[in-house]
Structure 1
Amino acid sequence: MLQMGDEVTLYSVVFVVVLLGTRSPIWTTVLTVSLYLFLALFRFPQVPTSRARQVLHPAKGVSEVAHRGGGHDAPENTIVAIREASKNGATGVELDLEFSADGVPILMHDETVDRTTNGLGPLSQMTLSDLGRLDAAAKHRLKDKFAGEKIPTLDEAVEECIKLQLTIYFDVKGHPDEAAVALKELYKKHPVLYNSSIVCSFEPRVIYKMRQSDPEVVTALTHRPWSLSRLGDGSPRFSSLWKHNWMTLMDIVFDWAHHHVLWKLCGISAFLIQKNFVSVDYVQYWAQRGVEVVAWTVNTKVEKEYYQELLQVNYITDSLVEDCEPHY
């Protein structure tokens, strides 16, 4: 639950900002009260802490989650990646949900097949049959070892994870309506997922839609501060100075909303944050609100020891077996 101090701070900040902007005490009061009523009426409660912990900590200690199934160790978002992750000791796997042109939920990170397969073109123009003819290992560093690996459907991947007893982090890339329908059907088909999976997204609308569809599902928001104005390595996203400054301002607003409004509105159980922003104080900040921190993407032995021994929070990694390049 949001602490009383948070409540006072949230509405005080809103009141002051609106008052400075409008110079109208009446409109300031109306808008602040409207925000309060909106959150009171439309927010979702967090799922019980005991069940959230069962999902996030299926075994004692810190959970090591294979990013995209462990994209360094095997072709990302494939069945073989899931199997390799399990063999290498992962507690769970993070899998990206996308859709084929004929509406079938599949595993794919990008909106095109260009980066990971021997095909070209957007998913929106490829049916499941088209995707079935592609080699999902074609661009991987171990392409010879895993040649011919196929793009799996969501259902195929989930059945493999259940068989291997892996926790699933569903990373929904978009399509909030379609994703909510597909995942609701999946949870209905496999009730074990309520205690062994979590739905995550960078888009708050996706998480809110999921909670509307099925409020019993454990959910998380994914976030990287300054993502609108800067790339993952910190370099500016835009060459135009005015556009960079405008998006920087939007980053500040978006970050504030994540930490003070959106998490509460969606009733999340975890917050997936880019590793560079995680600290002891940050973990405590969320713990006071009943939310667990999960860091991404942690790719070196030294970093993993830091998260396991000092911070004691779950992390997502590209490799279970060796150090690999930073991933933003």
Structure 2
Amino acid sequence: MALHPDFIRLPIAHRGLHSEEVPENSLASFRAAIEAGYGIELDIQPAADGTPMVFHDYDLNRMCGDEGYINDMDLDDLAEQRLAGTDEKIPTLAETLREVAGRVPLLIEIKDQDGRLGDNIGELHDRVAAQLEGYDGPVAVMSFNPHTVKAFGKAAPEITRGLTSCAFDKEHWPMLDDEDRESLGSLSDFGSSGSEFLSHHWIDLANPAVAALADRGVPLLCWTIRSADEEAEARKLAGGITFENYRP
């Protein structure tokens, strides 16, 4: 299915429209994005029972001050956590879908569950697909892991899916060997994953593999833009932007 044009037309708020007072990936940040007329990007990690939770990190330290890992905690324990010292809870995907209710585009990133972007991806993609069944509104699902994108496509062929990507430099991706970083950075799995759009790191948009996909008419989003100057540079090639810490 083609990427809905609103993902290109509207700037997409990275982890919602968050600030010092409004934590990322919170229902409050999603309400703020909707009120401002922006699309929403969010992240999915599993709770211990596999329930899709809207949360970026693998552990709770940065956002909740807890040393535990989100996939080790049950829903009752997670319900007691608070985001960045506010009253905001970690939302479930189901709660988020009810809140957004199709009012703005929703870009969902399923975080890698393998640890090395391999094929040990578990069932999180299936759980996300099940919750999106019948959702009425512009929605697209993406992942850095090509295996996750492919598996999600089998689980929910009617929902647009894409690949999240970057240069996969050794500093930020030390868990990958050189061969895997080269393969992933050249987007060699884009076709085999069944991806229908690309969301690429804006700093690496000069990558020839990105330009080749753009030349084929593949919709191109980019992340994460943090200033008007960065936006102007990225839009020389990218159609849509994911942003934070400024207003496009």
TM-score (norm. length: structure 2): 0.86
1:125 and 1:157 map into 2 onto residues whose CA distance is 21
2:154 and 2:69 map into 1 onto residues whose CA distance is 29
The match for 1:103 among 34, 40, 50 is 50
2:127 and 2:15 map into 1 onto residues whose CA distance is 19
1:313 counterpart = 2:239: yes
Match of 1:247 in 2: 177
1:127 counterpart = 2:65: no
The match for 1:212 among 151, 154, 161 is 154
* Residue identity opposite 2:45 in structure 1: E
Give the match's secondary structure for 1:169.
Answer: strand
1:149 counterpart = 2:97: no
1:97 and 1:52 map into 2 onto residues whose CA distance is 20
Tell which structure's C-alpha radius of gyration is larger.
1
Deviation per residue, 1:5-48 (Å, 9 max, x gap): xxxxxxxxxxxxxxxxxxxxxxxxxxxxxxxxxxxxxxxxxx3x
Deviation per residue, 1:198-252 (Å, 9 max, x gap): 111000010010111121210110111133x1228xxxx59xxxxxxx9344422
Q: Is the 8 A contact 1:82 1:93 kept in 2?
A: yes
1:199 counterpart = 2:125: no
Q: Which runs of 5+ in 1 are unaligned?
A: 1-46, 139-146, 239-245, 323-328
Aligned CA distance change for structure 1 residues 249 and 124 (closer, same or farther; 3 Å): closer
* Residue identity opposite 2:144 in structure 1: F
Q: Is the 8 A contact 1:89 1:320 kept in 2?
A: no
2:49 and 2:124 map into 1 onto residues whose CA distance is 14
1:168 counterpart = 2:106: yes
**Where do 4+ consecutive residues of structure 1 move more than 4 Å?**
279-284
1:281 and 1:177 map into 2 onto residues whose CA distance is 32
Compute the displacement of 1:63 (Å). Answer: 2.6
1:84 counterpart = 2:11: no
Match of 2:167 in 1: 225
* Residue identity opposite 1:178 in structure 2: E
Aligned CA distance change for structure 1 residues 155 and 282 (closer, same or farther; 3 Å): same
Q: Is the 8 A contact 1:220 1:271 kept in 2?
A: yes
Q: Which runs of 5+ in 2 are unaligned?
A: 114-120
Query: Percent identical across equivalent pairs?
Result: 23
Compute the displacement of 1:279 (Å). Answer: 4.4
The structure richer in helix per residue is: 1
1:52 counterpart = 2:8: no
Q: How many residues align?
A: 240
Say what the alpha-carbon RMSD is for the aligned residues: 2.5
